[in-house]
Structure 1
Amino acid sequence: MRTVEWIYLIFNLLMFVGVIGIGRQSQHFRKMIWGGFVISGVLLIIHGVVEGLRWPMIPAYLLTLVPLVVLFTKARRQQQSGVTSLNSKGSGASASTSTVTRKFGRVRIIATSLLVLVYAIVSIGLPLLFPIFSFAKPAGPYGIGTVSYDWTDNSRDELLTSNAGEKRELMVQIWYPTNPDAEGATAPYVNKPEIYGTAFNEVLKLPKLLFSSLSQVKTHAIQEAQLSDAEAKYPVVLFSHGLHGYENQNTFQVEQLVSQGYIVVGINHTYSSLVSVFPDGRVAQFESEGKEGFEQLQFSYMDKLNETWVKDAQFVLDEVEKLAEGDPSGRFTGHMDLDNIGMFGHSFGGATTVQMLMDDPRVKAGMNMDGVLFGEKRIPAEGVGKPFLMMSADSTVAGTSVMSDEEIAAMGTTRPEAEKYYEEVYARYESVTVGGNFWMELTNTKHLSFSDLYLISPLLEWTQGVDARGTQQLVNDTTIDFFNHYLKGQPLHMDTEVGEHESYSLKKG
């Protein structure tokens, strides 16, 4: 929860308890009620202006009205008490009536206490279960700037739609080092968050309610800030998301890299991403090409699709080279170290990274985060031939051994077919570490642990049994160590970590 939210919520709950518990005959009761209403109202206004209102806070918002409700109820009771007093003078009150009244009072106190407890749990629980999530503060010495581009590869037709004459168009976001005190507009997590919320629901089948506060998620990046001049040039690292992913799905990782002095280029692979939103308002939805479940995972289909992603990455590198040579804005001209280009990706983007390592001499080192090795080329027996780090979730590597019959059936296949499929998966992994390369397996992780997704809500963490921020810290430390060595020539600490550890195992070829 955010700071003003906490202050506002705690004050309202204390006021609620105070209003219920303090004797209403106290001469200060009325002043306290009006004072509580005014303070709560002011805090509500500050929260709305500074942080923005959101639906999980509705129970807390209603608490602001408690003083008015109490005053109205007290006035009504005083009025009714006067009428009852007049009636009792004519009829006489009995001792039994007094006893019933006392018993009713005790029941009312118990019921009221339970109401306060339940309401407090709801008021606190909803904002915690549906938070405005945030990213860890970047640990490096640099601030972060960002700028987006809409690039079209006029040499390629768009193969994933039937629109005649359409060329391959990509949204690309670049993050880069700035001075730590750079000022400007903070970049939102995603553009058009309402479109992303719908896409999460329609493509990933996640409740739209989980993403209702995406518009209020902020990053540490400043839009179009000036590039830091602390270094003459900065290494460039490409990022390729997973199938159904998006270019900033690994903001947790990108921001830490940039803060350490890297320029990171995130590619949105149109029609294979969760959604693409172009500057003129056009939206490109995910295109499954009529394939679902196990059919979509077939090597014949995925290897072919990966060719498009590799060409995307190569085209983006071409455009990056143009920026380095002559950026119209002047920002990147002469400041990109094109002799030290790396690449990393999640899932299908990880597979794309491996293909780029084997296919494009410009990419010097690469990381694949939990990606099956789809693509045209197999890693040869002698290895990739360049520095490479494979990172895997233990649940992914376990394959069908951790999958129930119901889960396999839901994919649209049988256990024997799934086991045969994984035989090919493991066969493609055989030469991953050959030539001195690394393979890290993270314990108690899932496929989406290598993305921002589990930050959305603790509900996702609990249901999946993962530690989102713990995994992200390990991934970030390893990423920076890897690229610092192979792109900046700094000492490599992973060499001393080979073996079994509590949270991971590390193998080296």
Structure 2
Amino acid sequence: MRFFEMLLIVFNIFLFGWFIFAKNKSQRQLLIGFGISAIITLLHGVIEGMRWQMIPAYTMTVVPLVILASRLKSKPEERVAIKASSVKRITLTALAVIYSSVAVALPLILPVFTFEKPTGSYKIGTVTYDWRDNQREETLTPESGDKRELMVQIWYPADATAEGEGVKYHSNADVFAKAYGSMMNLPKLLFTTFGYVKTHAIENARISNQESTYPVLIFSHGFSGHKNQNTFQIEQLVSHGYIVVGIDHTYNSMVSVFPDGRVANLISDDSDSVAQLNQTNEIWVEDAKFVLDQVEKLAKADPDHRFTGRMDMQNIGMFGHSFGGAATTQMVMEDSRIKAAINMDGVPYGKRSISVGGLKKPFMMMTADESTDNSDFGGFIETIMTKNNDAAHNKNYWMKFKNMTHYGFSDSHLLSPLYEKLEGVDIREAHRLINDYSLDFFNHYIKQQPFKLLEQTIGDHPKFTLQTN
């Protein structure tokens, strides 16, 4: 709950109780109290933005004013009668308790959540691109001649003097709220909270000169996800000196919004077969290769002069969630530019089989305990852990999270604490573990730094089990 939201609710509940129970309260005192409530409401609206979850709290500001106004118009003998009515007072008290509970519960159940402050020394900058691959036809639309077009967001270490407000999690909040609602068959209103969430990234900030170049990590979201669905993880990596490139896989993402206002909604096929999913995976792999090509161009000659000579294209990693994890696994085998990768709960799809030759590169698998109950998934992980031709230099790791869900690897569970209650997941703790071990893995295999966690914590732990080959 945001500061002025909390202040407004607490003050209004106190004011409401005082209005009902206090004796010898003057009209002047009442007007001052309700005036303060109105000022807090105004500050909340201007600074934080008003939202529907706070309607009961807003009403707590207005209704007592109406009651006060009616009392001012009533005759003295009528006021005495009102005071003498114990039944009316009990009824009013009960309604006040119920209403106050609702006013508190709604903002808590659907809070404007915040991302934890990244632990690295770098501030975070971000910029977004609209890239069209003129060499590929768009196969997911009926129109012939369409070319594959992708929205891409890049996060990078920003200069220490960079100032500005963190960009919104979703700049097109209404479009995304509608997309969330449509995907989950729930009212759009439940997802408007995302529109108030802000990140730590400053748009178009100057890149930091603390290091001459920064290694690059590619991020691929889950099916029906979006390029910034792992902001909790992306910001942490960037704060420690990485450039992260997030891809929206158009028509397979929740929704893609292009600069000219065009909206590409999710196209889902309920009859998806393994063959179809393998074909879709290939499209995602080609997306990643194309984006890497574009990133190489930026590194050589950025028209905005931001990334020219600042990207370490000799040290590139990749990570992905779910279907994006599957695309990441394929990229490790297909693209020599990828040096190391992390797959977060992604089942095996794609044209290349891991069982033939292994991965031959450092690889980390993160899974939820519920996912590995699937025998096919378990077999896939077993293959990863055994098929590596050079385990001395290219080790594989498997980190199995206990009491974890598939979507716990993304930002989605931050929407409401109900997820944690229903699923039994401590999502903040899970995110910290994901961040710590992702950073340690990439620091070693991309930045050539000594391990601080991975090799030191092999074995079983209360929150996870870690294995290596």
Are residue 36 (structure 1) and residue 41 (structure 2) matched? no
Residue matched to 2:463: 503
Gaps of 5+ in 1: 85-100, 400-421
In the alignment, the residues of structure 1 paired with residue 304 and residue 79 of structure 2 have an alpha-carbon distance, to the nearest angstrom, of 78
Give the alignment's Cα RMSD to 1 decimal: 1.8
In the alignment, the residues of structure 1 paired with residue 378 and residue 59 of structure 2 have an alpha-carbon distance, to the nearest angstrom, of 56
| 1:382–1:431 contact (8 Å) kept in structure 2 | no
In the alignment, the residues of structure 2 paired with residue 351 and residue 82 of structure 1 have an alpha-carbon distance, to the nearest angstrom, of 72
Residue matched to 1:410: none
Are residue 465 (structure 1) and residue 462 (structure 2) matched? no
Change in 2 beyond 3 A, CA 1:267/1:308: same
Residue matched to 1:169: 149
In the alignment, the residues of structure 2 paired with residue 380 and residue 63 of structure 1 have an alpha-carbon distance, to the nearest angstrom, of 64
Are residue 210 (structure 1) and residue 190 (structure 2) matched? yes
In the alignment, the residues of structure 2 paired with residue 429 and residue 16 of structure 1 have an alpha-carbon distance, to the nearest angstrom, of 58
Moved more, 59-68 or 115-124: 59-68
Q: TM-score, normalised by structure 1?
A: 0.87
Residue matched to 2:13: 13
Moved more, 6-15 or 138-147: 6-15
Letter in 1 for 2:338: V
Gaps of 5+ in 2: none
Q: How does 1:366-377 map to 2 (within 5 A)?
A: 366-377=341-352
Letter in 2 for 1:62: T
> Following TM superposition, by how much is the alpha carbon of 1:79 offset from its aligned partner in structure 2, in angstroms?
4.6
Are residue 342 (structure 1) and residue 317 (structure 2) matched? yes
In the alignment, the residues of structure 1 paired with residue 379 and residue 436 of structure 2 have an alpha-carbon distance, to the nearest angstrom, of 29
Residue matched to 1:302: 277
Secondary structure of 2:144's counterpart equals: coil
Question: What number of residue pairs does the alignment pair up?
Answer: 461
Q: How does 1:307-386 map to 2 (within 5 A)?
A: 307-380=282-355, 383-386=358-361
Secondary structure of 2:343's counterpart equals: strand
> Following TM superposition, by how much is the alpha carbon of 1:442 offset from its aligned partner in structure 2, in angstroms?
0.4
| 1:325–1:333 contact (8 Å) kept in structure 2 | yes
Letter in 2 for 1:363: I
In the alignment, the residues of structure 2 paired with residue 109 and residue 270 of structure 1 have an alpha-carbon distance, to the nearest angstrom, of 59
Letter in 2 for 1:481: D
Name which one, 1 or 2, has greater alpha-carbon Rg.
Answer: 1
Change in 2 beyond 3 A, CA 1:83/1:323: closer
> Following TM superposition, by how much is the alpha carbon of 1:73 offset from its aligned partner in structure 2, in angstroms?
3.7
Letter in 1 for 2:438: T
Q: How does 1:92-171 map to 2 (within 5 A)?
A: 105-171=85-151
Moved more, 127-136 or 199-208: 199-208
Are residue 450 (structure 1) and residue 402 (structure 2) matched? no
Q: 1:233 aligns with which of 208, 213, 216?
A: 213
Are residue 47 (structure 1) and residue 6 (structure 2) matched? no
> Following TM superposition, by how much is the alpha carbon of 1:381 offset from its aligned partner in structure 2, in angstroms?
5.6
Secondary structure of 2:170's counterpart equals: coil
Change in 2 beyond 3 A, CA 1:82/1:147: closer
Q: 1:189 aligns with which of 169, 184, 187?
A: 169
Are residue 394 (structure 1) and residue 369 (structure 2) matched? yes
Residue matched to 2:398: 439
Q: 1:428 aligns with which of 380, 397, 406?
A: 380
Residue matched to 1:72: 69
> Following TM superposition, by how much is the alpha carbon of 1:220 offset from its aligned partner in structure 2, in angstroms?
0.5
Secondary structure of 2:384's counterpart equals: coil
| 2:71–2:79 contact (8 Å) kept in structure 1 | no
| 1:446–1:464 contact (8 Å) kept in structure 2 | yes
Over residues 46-81 of structure 1, what are the superposed CA-to-partner deviations in whole Å (9 max), with x where a residue is unaligned? 111100111111111112224423323433553553
| 1:210–1:457 contact (8 Å) kept in structure 2 | no
Over residues 343-371 of structure 1, what are the superposed CA-to-partner deviations in whole Å (9 max), with x where a residue is unaligned? 00000100111111001010000000000
Residue matched to 2:180: 200
| 2:316–2:340 contact (8 Å) kept in structure 1 | yes
Residue matched to 1:402: none
Over residues 232-264 of structure 1, what are the superposed CA-to-partner deviations in whole Å (9 max), with x where a residue is unaligned? 000100000011010000011101110111000
Residue matched to 1:4: 4
In the alignment, the residues of structure 1 paired with residue 59 and residue 160 of structure 2 have an alpha-carbon distance, to the nearest angstrom, of 40
| 1:383–1:433 contact (8 Å) kept in structure 2 | no
| 1:57–1:126 contact (8 Å) kept in structure 2 | yes
Letter in 1 for 2:109: L
Secondary structure of 1:312's counterpart equals: helix
